[in-house]
Amino acid sequence: MKARQLTKDTVTQMRRDVMMLVGETEHLEYHSVQLQLAGKIASIVRCYGLNTTVRTMWSTDHSIDDVSLYLCYVIPSQEVRLKPDAELTYIFFDSYVNDHKARLLKQLTKFFDKLERIANKKLFNN
Amino acid sequence: MSKKKIAMKDGKPVISLNDIEKVRKLVLRWVNLMINGCAWVELPYLCMFVASYLKKLGIAVEIRVGIDIRGVEYCNIILLYVTDMEWPEENFKAEFMKRWNESHIVDEFIVLNEDDGNARHVALLSKIIENACQNLANYVSKQTKVKKTSKQPKTQQQ
């Protein structure tokens, strides 16, 4: 399967799918829920041609208990860079933040706005 | 800088052989059950589900999904046994990120391709989970033995 060309419509659909999923998710304060949500977001955005990395960080003394999600759009014709420096955005579920959902929605909105600007500019449409 | 084994608490391993066995059985069962009915697009979700259990053993997981330059979809899974290393008490996060980004600390790494099919995905996933659990079990056994040996002289004195 080839990566889809990024258009305004695909960004709109992707935004709708992801935002709906996040909106429906409850108990985002739990690490296991964060992990599974990150995996679901990764599953969705991949269908639209985005590359993602989901990473867990953990320690037994609970000093670290976080999930991070890197999202990037691959420019067709360019080599896929796997390192996090290729990301368009970096979403971080921080255990010490109270309002996880609002924070996540804010980060995702910013990300999709950015993608939309890219699609409008037709930067990646060959 | 002071060092500690993060898997140790009061001189004992935080996880037991029993914990490892329980998680191993559960995760393998889920992998076998779920992957049969798991579409390729749902694989990242399955992997993170597995990760949420492996986390209980101190295994950090990274899943990379995407499309490579040939247009082929891939799913990379990386496991890192946080328990088998020494970590600084201060600035833990920075050190963790630094080490994570150095490939030599990656303990298990597999690449799943869509065309491989479910059977191979199950086999590869099961293999890295088995390896991870076995290595952790070896680590815990070793730590337990060390503790018993170091306790013996005290008992003799008493």
Chain B residues with CB under 8 Å of A53 CB are 62-65
Residue A79 clears pLDDT 60, i.e. is over it: no
Mean pLDDT of A32-52: 85
CB pairs under 8 A between A and B: 119
Chain B residues with CB under 8 Å of A68 CB are none
Least confident window among A43-47, A119-123, B16-20: A119-123
Mean pLDDT of B92-115: 77
Q: The complex's ipTM? A: 0.74
| Phi, psi (rounded to 5 degrees) for A73 | -100, 130
**Within an 8 Å CB–CB cutoff, is residue A68 touching chain B?**
no
The residue among A24 and B148 whose pLDDT is bigger is A24
**Within an 8 Å CB–CB cutoff, is residue A1 touching chain B?**
yes
pLDDT band for position B131 (cuts 50, 70, 90): very high
Residue B125 clears pLDDT 70, i.e. is over it: yes
Give the residue extent of every domain in chain B: 11-141
**Within an 8 Å CB–CB cutoff, is residue B3 touching chain A?**
no
Per-residue pLDDT at B26: 92
Is the pTM higher than 0.90?
no
Partner residues linked to B79 by β-bridges: B61, B108
pLDDT band for position A93 (cuts 50, 70, 90): confident
**Within an 8 Å CB–CB cutoff, is residue A80 touching chain B?**
yes
Per-residue pLDDT at A82: 41
The rounded distance, in Å, linking the Cα atoms of B107 and B110 is 10
The rounded distance, in Å, linking the Cα atoms of A90 and A6 is 19
Mean pLDDT of A87-104: 73
Residue A19 clears pLDDT 80, i.e. is over it: yes
